[in-house]
Structure 1
Amino acid sequence: MNGKATDETRAAELRGKLAGELRDAGFITSASVEAAFRAVPRHAFVPADTPLEVTYQLDSAVVTKRDEHGVAVSSVSAAYIQTAMLEQAELKSGMTVLEIGSGGVNAAMIAEIVGPKGRVVSVDIDPEVTDRAATLLEAAGYGDRVTVLTIDAEDEIPGFEKFNAIIVTVGAWDLAPAWLRQLAEDGTLVVPLRMNGISRSIAFRRVNNHLASTSAVVCGFVPMQGTGEHIDQELRLPDPNGHMVTLRFDDRAPNNPSLLDGVLATERSEVWSGVTIKNGVSFADLHLWFASFLPGFCRLAAQEGTELAQERKTWFPFAGVHGDSFAYLSVRPALEGTGVEFGARAYGPHGQEAAAAMIKQIQAWDERARNRAEPMFAYWPTGSNAPTRLPDGTATFNKTHGLVTISWPTG
């Protein structure tokens, strides 16, 4: 057996093993998605020097293009989120499906699911990305089953009236009106939607004059380019040695950022919540809770050389600005070494108040949302008469083309 045949045999073994892991973990729940995942040679769509063991890991995304600054602008998403989003879309044989964000492998799996009577259109704004996707799809035997177009997906897709499903595989800050116009009345839109800096892959369906979620999955994607691009606002804070801590705001940056001048030179304070969690247990809903309710919420990054960089294992990149001070999510060992306690460390003249505000939300999440039913998401397009009075526990996010609401359980 030659080397290429050996690699193909090994790839098939790893693909089968990964399919079982995805099924056991609950990311694959249907026979059609499992069959599609087993059929498509995932390794044919990643760079040739990518080890098979990386290609066929459950949670490994593989970058396929970087910009001039080394930032990833296109990738093959991790297997778990690809299969989870295919399940969210509830695809059936014969459907017409739009994929926004081309890579090849996801479009091939969609083609397997919808079958020869279905239609798959994959679009991307970057001609280098679409050329690569089209070439790889052709080589893998999907050239006549997937139409690849170079287009800004904020525009309607020419030659197609309606799609039974639209699957967005790039991070979106808003929903383009064109997507809603081309989504069939009973269709499903699956989109990694960013809400105050925190993303969820949300499956939406129409309910009267708005879209309501049917499921949501924790995710992360490279951001949308083109007309739908959204640039975060950054606030760079130098420490006394000139090293930077950066606060990134989605669209709610402080009105007077100069209040934070010199904040890293102040004495640090800390407050602890009494809320604990075992090691290895996800608390992704706390991130979304902060994005919903923590005043001044932002994401934090620390340059090497800062005090924060030296303590990376004791904090998470979520913060809240409180006037001339800011606090960030911290942890310390708890539960006899089997877990951690959540707390807040803070800089600034009013660091104690900033930390207290974060602690209040940690405790509110623990009491009202932790281990409860998942929150529900809705999107109200501009002109749809979104409700002016919303139930308690509802967070709102104004977008260019509409309003997003997150309804947290209140019982």
Structure 2
Amino acid sequence: MSAAEREINALMALHPKGFDLSLERITRLLARLGNPHEKLPPVLHIAGTNGKGSTSAFCRAILEAHGLTAHVHTSPHLVNWHERFRIGAKGGGKLVEDEVLAEALRRVADANQGETITVFEILTAVMFVLFSEHPADAALIEVGLGGRFDATNVIAHPAVSLIMSISLDHQAYLGDRVELIAAEKAGIIKAGSPAVIGAQTEEAAREVLIEIAERLRCPMSIYGQDFMALEENGRLVYQDEDELIDLPLPRLAGRHQQGNAAAAIRGLKAAGFKLQERATAEGLLNVSWPGRLERLTHGRLVDGAMEGVELWIDGGHNPGAGKVIAEAMANLNDRDSRPLFLITGMINTKDPVGYFEAFAGMVRHVFTVPVSDSEAGLDPGFLSSTAIQAGLTAQAARDVESAIAAICSNWNELERPPRILIGGSLYLLGEVLRFNETPPV
């Protein structure tokens, strides 16, 4: 166990709830720490149901291709807590070193003086401390949950607020209608500061975001109106009111990543960064975002599968994510037709039927597995019944490894080796990457 993990485990007992949305505790703690959130480089604050992490990854890759440095805060992590804090550096940012993180945790815990607080709030304060004490050209800060009362939302003057795709998720905390969720996420938009509204699948969400940004008199850019991207002849054409640029398709798989890349470009420009076409293209080609439509090319799981099998992982876990993941799998199948199998584990705050419905008609079989890293993991037997309810065939398996073995055993050699997508939960992906010995770096 790392030094930082020991510190975090000791803090787990300070608050009984995983989520308790409020700005009161974090504001008090930051004041005791000297308000480090007021001493940051230009902040790009990013919210949304889906696409936050990918957009952060695009922003980072494009900035670094321009020779600039960027701190990056994302959550949750997949394998190690350190993944939440990437410290900007020339030549490319690095995950925070263990002792640096442990020392910052101790300082923040001391300042908190044992008062009730969530671990996410402690980690958010740690992020502000780390990012304020290391120089960088930008800070890319992803919202944890919602926006309005998320602990990151103490940033008074962001260089830009980016709102990515919004759909139903975390209804117990954010509301059971997409308009309510949009209003919560729009809480990061600040009066007079630029706002970029990414591609929205729900028109009701888009309307709420526009109304709030207009009311706050924000310089606003709306996907499909003020900027856009489209695929043309195997290239990505980005256009806004200033320019039209010809770029390579992003390295990240899935057509939805084209919209995320466009939002990143527009967000960086709105934040005041002058982008060059060649460096922007380099960023799109070098971008990396582990666990999101990522193909595993080596490791224990790959070595244990039969030759030719494709193993993909994705942490999308709500109906909106299911739709874009299914579309991406369909696009892969158009180029390289293979039987598709799902190996899925989920926690009990998600909508499994809505997720599985996106794959109806394209998946040969589903194997459901436990999510061991979360006490909220759904029983695989129940989860398989929801897949059947969504029109798929399904059965429970002991774990991911045994599910892969079941797919590969007695495979008909007359068929092409299958494509297997493992997902449904970021907790499950953490288990997979840990077992595969390929954690994010």
Q: Same fold (TM over 0.5)?
A: no
The two structures have a TM-score, normalised by structure 2, of 0.25
The two structures have a TM-score, normalised by structure 1, of 0.27
Report the structure, 1 or 2, having the larger strand content. 1
Report the structure, 1 or 2, having the larger helix content. 2
Larger Rg: 1
